[in-house]
Structure 1
Amino acid sequence: MTVQWKLFADLAERAGDRHVTVDVGAGDTVEDALEHLLEGRDELRDRVLDDDGELRSQINVLRNGANVLTEEEGLETELEADDELALFPPVSGG
């Protein structure tokens, strides 16, 4: 099955596109889909993950509009067909 990532701000620039579709298998998680997204995209990987390979605290990950880190099971959230995932960098404004 496939899921689509929507990328915002500098994350889209680093990925080379605002929308990226990745293939995932049954039982795969948001973390699996993130790994597929980051494959071959070293500049994006460096922006999203810290030196230990962990998600940077300021990066938000959404699944169908819900923040997986606060509203679901984190990166271990299991995917379903046609899920839409999103990555947001820190947002500031005034």
Structure 2
Amino acid sequence: MKWKLFANLAETAGTKEVEVEAGPGDTFREAFDQLLDTHPELQSEVLDEEGELRDHIRVLRNDHNPFVTDDGYDTRLEDGDELALFPPVSGG
């Protein structure tokens, strides 16, 4: 399974895509933890002092937020899922 990273998160990790071992049947948390294990430099940018996802960080599973439309960290991954991690977005 691959994570797509955007903006400063991709810069911090040194890559726009990260392959993790998680696959169908695993949970979103397992895939997220593997991402942070692979790139621990992302932890301070995406997790707060309590180890929770920062409010301004957005995660997507197949173009929707698993914390809104699925079971959050307990969401079961399926074959072909696309995972993405976004920092705050601003524009003008």
TM-score scaled by structure 1?
0.88
Which of residues 62, 72, 83 is equivalent to 1:64? 62
Structure 2, gaps ≥5 residues long: none
Partners in 2 of 1:40 and 1:23 — Cα distance? 10
Shift in Å at residue 82 of structure 1? 2.5
Partners in 2 of 1:76 and 1:26 — Cα distance? 13
Structure 1, gaps ≥5 residues long: none
Shift in Å at residue 26 of structure 1? 5.2
Partners in 2 of 1:83 and 1:42 — Cα distance? 23
Matched, 1:90 2:88: yes
- Paired residues in the alignment total 92
Matched, 1:53 2:55: no
Shift in Å at residue 41 of structure 1? 2.1
Which of residues 13, 16, 26 is equivalent to 2:14? 16
TM-score scaled by structure 2?
0.90
- The answer on whether the counterparts of 1:4 and 1:82 sit within 8 Å (CA) in structure 2 is no
Partners in 1 of 2:13 and 2:54 — Cα distance? 17
Greater displacement, 5-14 / 26-35:
26-35
Partner of 1:5, secondary structure, is: strand
Shift in Å at residue 74 of structure 1? 1.4
- Which amino acid is the alignment partner of residue 57 of structure 1? D
Partners in 1 of 2:31 and 2:15 — Cα distance? 16
Structure 1, residues 41-83: CA drift from partner, whole Å, max 9, x if none?
A: 2321110111111111111110111111212211221111231
- The answer on whether the counterparts of 2:23 and 2:79 sit within 8 Å (CA) in structure 1 is no
Partner of 2:25, secondary structure, is: coil
